[in-house]
A and B are shown apart, each in its own frame.
Chain A
């Protein structure tokens, strides 16, 4: 399962990123590009559903959702913990 592609797919369903999610670099600031608090909540819900994980409160901050790389790191950690 390619986590990065899944993140791009989910981002693509957000209005701010429609049609350009695949062009984002891993370190582009998603907030600068228009991700708002509700957008990040929707993103979290979709990731939780897709990967059967739950984001703990400690990860519910702007840093965890600032870039595709940050999201992938958070999701990978959670997926590993789930598997262990």
Chain B
């Protein structure tokens, strides 16, 4: 039995080998995902009684970082998959159908995608226009999903929808839809600056005659507050950390090569490297602190759903996404033209284009506006070593 780190490294090596092609061709990182399945890394979070390994978010975060170092798109697919799995693990243990689903995810290494974004609603997670239409023991759902990352490649999609056609737009449920239960008609392309391999295309999603037991019993409002917000920001941040680390490693190698060429001198770029190393450590500290606070909460819904915790997670996302861009950009300025070119050992074009998505995926302004509202009632900034 090899260690988790060794399994992750093997999958990351495959991802790294194909990262440039995935980016250039704007295609799904199929080799990397096949390697993740072969290493059985898609079922890690599933509890052991369902055939998984019961891994916590911290272990998943470490893997996101390892993969982010190799291929941003593969890492983001892995992160998004595990964000959805964390919703199942946290909220579906009292549903027999979803427990069997978790067994299947672990056994068959099913890839799980998410459909929240909708035409007319945009990226506002907590509102839906489409609605579950129940007839007896089955339901139908039609959704103009303007983005479903790797929707065409996923084995399973967790989609938000209104509870019924009369429900308010915020009265949502989460439904599990297997690939063979739905039809997806492509309505939008994913031809982007970076993160080209996530294939976050638009689709018209149609599902018919799906058993109602596939609707998660918990209201989506609870799922969003208690597992999705935390898992999204923690795992995305870890992917961005991996991308930033790759750039810092390139810059370090470049400075060291310069130092070897001129023994006895400290290259001028070394000072810039020291600055980047400083920012990189601060970024790491921010993520690790947030992961520790999450682990310390031990899944307590009141802590994780509290206003202070939400402010902390919002701040994590804004800080880390901005730092990631800054670090990669500074690494590029150290490496210079060798980083700007696409065919050198120091090329940083792909990671720079990829990381530019970080402040945009859930725009930082939208998150800051949400924090601003929460701060209207928060009373204290907490202690140094505790919340």
A residues near B, CB below 8 A?
16, 29, 31-34, 36-38, 41, 44-45, 48, 54-57, 60-63
Given known contacts A34-B168, A37-B373, A57-B308, is B225 in contact with A62 (CB within 8 Å)?
yes
A55 and B126 alpha carbons, distance in the complex (Å):
25
- Docked-complex contact B373 and A38, CB < 8 angstroms: yes
Q: Which of A29, A33, A45, A56 contacts B376 (CB 8 A)?
A: A45
CA distance A30 to B382 in the complex (A): 28
How many B residues touch A, CB cutoff 8 Å? Answer: 25
Q: Does B171 contact A (CB under 8 A)?
A: yes
Please give 19 more A-B residue pairs, beta carbons under 8 A apart, in addition to A32-B221, A37-B307. Answer: A16-B170, A29-B219, A31-B219, A31-B221, A34-B168, A36-B221, A37-B374, A41-B377, A55-B377, A56-B379, A57-B308, A57-B379, A60-B307, A61-B302, A61-B303, A61-B305, A62-B225, A62-B306, A63-B305
A61-B307, A62-B302 as given contacts; A36 in contact with B170, CB under 8 Å: yes
* A57:B380 contact, CB within 8 angstroms: yes
Are A36 and B378 interface neighbours, CB within 8 A? no
Output the least CB separation between A31 and chain B (Å).
5
In the bound complex, do residue A32 and residue B171 qualify as a contact, i.e. CB atoms below 8 Å apart?
yes
- Asked if B48 is an interface residue, CB under 8 A from chain A, the answer is no
Q: Is the interface of A mostly helix, strand, loop or mixed?
A: loop
**B192 at the binding interface (Cβ < 8 Å):** no
* B222 within 8 Å of A (CB atoms): yes
B59 at the interface (CB under 8 A from A): no
- Report the bound CA distance from A63 to B303 in whole Å: 10
Closest beta carbon of chain A to B3's beta carbon, Å: 38
Chain B residues with CB under 8 Å of A32's CB are: 171, 219, 221
Q: Are B305 and A45 in contact (CB under 8 A)?
A: no
Complex: how many Å from CA A31 to CA B308? Answer: 18
Which chain B residues border A60 with CB–CB below 8 Å?
Answer: 306-308, 377-379
Residues from chain A with a CB closer than 8 A to the CB of B378 are: 57, 60
The residue of chain B having its C-beta at the shortest distance from the C-beta of A31 within the complex is B221
Minimum distance in angstroms from B221 CB to a CB of chain A: 5
CA distance A36 to B379 in the complex (A): 20
- Cα distance, A63 to B301, chains bound together (Å): 9
Note all chain A residues with C-beta closer than 8 A to B376: 41, 45
Render B359-387 as a binary contact track against A, CB cut-off 8 A, 1 for contact. Answer: 00000000000100110111110100000
CB-CB under 8 A for A33 and B308, given A57-B380, A60-B377, A63-B302: no
Write the chain A residue with the least CB distance to B221: A31
Which residues on the A side are within 8 Å of B302 (C-beta)? 61-63
* Chain A nearest Cβ from B233, distance in angstroms: 15
Residue B310, interface by CB 8 Å: yes
Asked if B374 and A34 sit within 8 Å, CB to CB, the answer is no
Q: Find the residue from A31, A41, A62 having the highest chain B CB count within 10 A.
A: A62
A65 to chain B, nearest CB (A): 10
In the assembled complex, 23 residue pairs joining A and B whose CB atoms fall closer than 8 Å, in A order, are A31-B222, A32-B219, A33-B168, A34-B171, A36-B221, A37-B225, A37-B307, A37-B310, A37-B370, A37-B373, A37-B374, A41-B376, A44-B377, A48-B377, A55-B379, A60-B308, A60-B377, A60-B379, A61-B305, A61-B307, A62-B225, A62-B301, A63-B305
Chain B residue numbers with a CB within 8 Å of A44 are 377
Residues B171 and A41 in contact, CB atoms below 8 Å apart: no
A55 to B379, CA, bound (A): 8
CB-contact partner of A16 in B168, B307, B374, B377, under 8 A: B168
- Using CB atoms, name the residue of chain B closest to A44: B377
Q: Which of B126, B168, B301, B307 has the most CB of A within 10 A?
A: B307
Query: Which of these, B219, B306, B373, B379, contacts A41 with CB under 8 Å?
Result: B373
Quick check: A45 and B221 within 8 Å, CB to CB? Answer: no
Docked CA distance A48–B225 (Å):
24
Question: Contacts of B306 on A, CB cut-off 8 Å?
Answer: 57, 60-62
Q: How far is the CB of B216 from chain A (nearest CB, A)?
A: 14
Closest residue of A by beta carbon distance from B380: A57
Q: Please indicate the chain B residues that have their CB under 8 angstroms from the CB of A48 in the complex.
A: 377
A62–B373 Cα gap in the complex (Å)?
Answer: 15
